[in-house]
Each structure stands twice: as C-alpha cells, then as structure tokens.
Structure 1
C-alpha cells in the first residue's frame, strides 16, 4: 500500500484519489478551520491551515490490520521532513470510517480504538524510543514517540457532542511535534497573548466547560496522555491504556514473515 502526504494546495486542486470519503473529510476539515462565526479554538492549527504548513494523510479503517503500518509510514515521511513545513506544522490523518463505526460507536469505544491503534502502531517503529522521553505514561514528561520524534496526539471522533472541539465526522488524528510547541513558547509575548484567547474560544465552542485534564506539559500534575483523547464529559481513564511494543521490525524479518 503506497501512502502519500498531501498539502492544502494538492487537495484543493483535487490532486487526491477520488474516493468520496477522502474529499468529504478534507472539505469538512477545511470548513472547521475557516469558520469565522464558530472559530476553532486552537489558533495555531488555524494558522497552520491558512499558511499551508499542515500535511495530510488518508488511512484505512482504524480497526483494520493495515492501519498501524499506514500510520507509521505517514508519520515517518512527516518526521523526516517536518522542519521544512513551517512553524505551525502538524500531521492530520483522516481515517476511513464506515457507517457501522460512525453511527454505532460510543465515545468510550472510540477511546479504546484510539489507544489500541497507538499501541499497534508503536510495533511498527524501527527506531529506539528517544532517550530523553520517559517510557512510562505516568511520568509528567512522557509523550507518544514514533520514528525518534515526540508528538502531541489529538483525536477527534463522530461521537463527540458536548466537546465540538473534539468532534469530526470521521475518526481523525492530529500529530504535532514537540519542537513546534517548544518554538511557539519561545516567544513569551505571543504565547501569553494566545493562550487565554484559545481558552476563550474553547469555552464558546464547546457546550461543556474545559476538561480538568487540560494542563501544561512538564507540570508535575500534568499527564499528556490524558489530553490526547478527551471524553465528552469530565471523566478520564484511571490509567493510560497505551502499551508500547518494544520488539522492532527489520526488513529481513518482514521478508521471512516474522516480526
């Protein structure tokens, strides 16, 4: 399966496979990023969209056996080139979401699916976990890592209602490299001005107050994994469901049908 990264120019010029769901997914995302009445809370994301810093990929059904390898390959391509894409870059992954998944899945089901996908995708990683990132999600400096890069992972689903900031008509992930967030915070005036604006937008966008797990990276009481998938209420999982697969794959072993 050949996986490709696209940018806004590619997609708006219709340089994309013609499957209807792919066209619809991108159009729904573009509408969300450009809505001037209901402004999407994450201002850096809207800037990334406006400046064509975002990259996009299309992935099979997240339940499928093909999905982890597809995610891994797209993240690899993105990681290898992300510093050339712009200071607001993120990787947006749209997943084929069949009707049975879209219309008959609870938020909790999507949460389980999300963590299962991240765990399975880690089994595709051929690089060591970065030495400076703790391997235990219970550590306040833990982040999801793939291909040697640490990422903040955002998940949106068709089942979110109260948190429209986490609603999308398809299962969707957005992966933002830690270096993007570090660079953003290197300009204190910009960061201090934008953060309260983001909170204000969030309060207006959702019909429920901000989730108590939304905190700052590195704070002793912050756990990044809790922010990756926010439930549609104020609850959260008692422990991180992520299970890191440490066994690496090699081209030789793949050729022999083992891993």
Structure 2
C-alpha cells in the first residue's frame, strides 16, 4: 500500500477540528452535536445579523456566504483554548492569504450582568492573555506600543485587525451580533489592495460608512480611521463606545505577561 504524506494544509485542517474551529456553512442550520446550546443560539443570531443584505460590512457578509468565515466558542474557565485555536486558524489561512478569511470567537456568557465598559475590559483581557501565550516573536515591523499609529495587535507572527462586538451596543447595532461577546480577527493581508488611500479602499470605506449610517442610525465612530494615518490609533477602533467618546482613555493592552500584570487597571 502506498503511504500518503500529509501536507501542511491537511495538517492545518486537522488542527482546526482539534480546536473546534469550523467554517460557517450557510446551506444548513444543522450543527455538530458537541456544540453547546448557548453557542448554537449565538451563532444563529450572528448569521441572521451578518447575513442581511443591508449589513454595513459587505466583506463580513461575503466571507460568510463564500465559506470564508470560521468560528469557535470559548467556555468559561477554558481561556487557555483561545491561543491554540487562533494559531490554528492563522496557519490554515496563511497559504491562501489572498482570500479574505475571518475568525470569530464567541465567549460563553457567565450570567453576570455587564456594562458596556465591563465587556470592553473582558475584550482587552482576552487580547492581553493571547499576547502572554504567544510562542512566536512579535512582527519586527509592527511597533510594540499602542500609542504608535502603526501599532496593531499581532499574534503568531501575524498583524491582525481585531474588533469586539458586544450585546450592550444598542445604537451601534453593527457591533451587536448576538447576546454574548464576540471577538473577530482578520489578518492584515485581507486588506491588501483596499488600504486607506487606494481607490478601491476609498470606495469600500465610503460604501461602508454610508451603510453604517442607515444601520446604526448614527455616523461612524470618529476613531474609525485608516491604518497608518498619523492621526489614527488602531486600538481605539477595536472596542468602541456608543457615543463619540472613547471607552478607555489609554489602551488597556498589556504587552507580554509581565506587562499584563503590571498595567494599571482600566476600571
């Protein structure tokens, strides 16, 4: 019998399943039996919101419709599962970097009522814990200080755009996708060709902002700028307020385990 050597892509697919990272299949409502009920409900709500034709971010809707959206769930007390799941997704996405793949992580609700700021604190704690668990060097061309306009969150050697969607968004409905916190990750490579200042990027942003105004009944948050713009700080876009203010006056991100422990509280 001829032996078949497993390819790196097949290895990556196996790791996806090992960490319960699954493509959203819009052709069926059936879900695997091992998925918890809270996650099934949250995912159904997510699909209903993002799948609407009027949803402002057509990139997100297209990713779901074209089989490029991957999701998993994060159980209470199992936050160590976050880092290997994200690493598995990035290893899987990298060979086809030209495809605009998106990864959404649903955080299990623990029954504790939270304010919008408290969801933000949870969001930033998870990003800091990812950084503390990262086994790969921070990209050499990405600054380590969020106060630098060229900073962006990076993990497993990849610069990423990240944002948090919370159920406490009532005005900015585009960031209320279900009844729990969702973290969405996009490799920076998905924006190649549509960067700020490019003709395609200008058209895409104008279209999204116009749709945001109709969907959210509010203009885009003033922090929603273009990456690399000296007046723009990427971290301010990750978790936004209902009004035009910032949820946090300074970035809550802690670089490395020591920094995460020593950083001042955002409460």
TM-score between both structures, scaled by the size of structure 2? 0.82
Query: Which piece of structure 1 moves more, 46-55 or 205-214?
Result: 205-214
Deviation at 1:205, TM superposition (A): 1.1
CA distance in 2, matches of 1:233, 1:140: 22
CA distance in 1, matches of 2:140, 2:180: 34
User: Which residue in 2 is equivalent to 1:254?
Assistant: none
Q: 1:153 to 1:113 in 2, by over 3 A?
A: same
Task: Let me know the Cα RMSD of the aligned residues.
Answer: 2.1
CA distance in 1, matches of 2:138, 2:87: 14
CA distance in 2, matches of 1:121, 1:192: 32
Deviations 1:119-161, CA, capped at 9 Å, x for gaps: 1221111111110100000001101011101111110111111
Q: 1:78 to 1:148 in 2, by over 3 A?
A: same
Query: Does 2:173 align with 1:161?
Result: no
Q: 1:31 to 1:183 in 2, by over 3 A?
A: same
Query: Which piece of structure 1 moves more, 181-190 or 193-202?
Result: 181-190
- Mapping of 1:177-188 within 5 angstroms? 177-185=187-195, 188=198
User: Which residue in 1 is equivalent to 2:159?
Assistant: 150
Query: Does 2:237 align with 1:227?
Result: yes
User: Which residue in 1 is equivalent to 2:204?
Assistant: 194
Deviation at 1:18, TM superposition (A): 3.8
User: Which residue in 2 is equivalent to 1:126?
Assistant: 135
Q: Is the 8 A contact 2:212 2:218 kept in 1?
A: no
User: Which residue in 2 is equivalent to 1:21?
Assistant: 38
Query: Does 2:144 align with 1:135?
Result: yes
**Please, which runs of 5 or more residues in structure 1 have no aligned partner?**
248-259
- Mapping of 1:24-103 within 5 angstroms? 24-36=41-53, 39-61=54-76, 64=77, 66-67=78-79, 69-83=80-94, 84=96, 87-100=99-112
Query: Does 2:6 align with 1:3?
Result: no
User: Which residue in 2 is equivalent to 1:255?
Assistant: none
Deviation at 1:246, TM superposition (A): 5.4
Query: Which piece of structure 1 moves more, 192-201 or 135-144?
Result: 192-201
Q: 1:4 to 1:18 in 2, by over 3 A?
A: closer
**Please, which runs of 5 or more residues in structure 2 have no aligned partner?**
1-17, 259-267
Q: Is the 8 A contact 2:194 2:202 kept in 1?
A: no
Q: Which secondary structure does the structure 2 equivalent of 1:143 belong to? A: coil
Deviation at 1:189, TM superposition (A): 4.8
Deviations 1:10-39, CA, capped at 9 Å, x for gaps: 974423524211111111111012223xx2
Deviation at 1:40, TM superposition (A): 1.5
Deviation at 1:70, TM superposition (A): 1.5
User: Which residue in 1 is equivalent to 2:9?
Assistant: none
The size of the alignment, in residue pairs, is 237
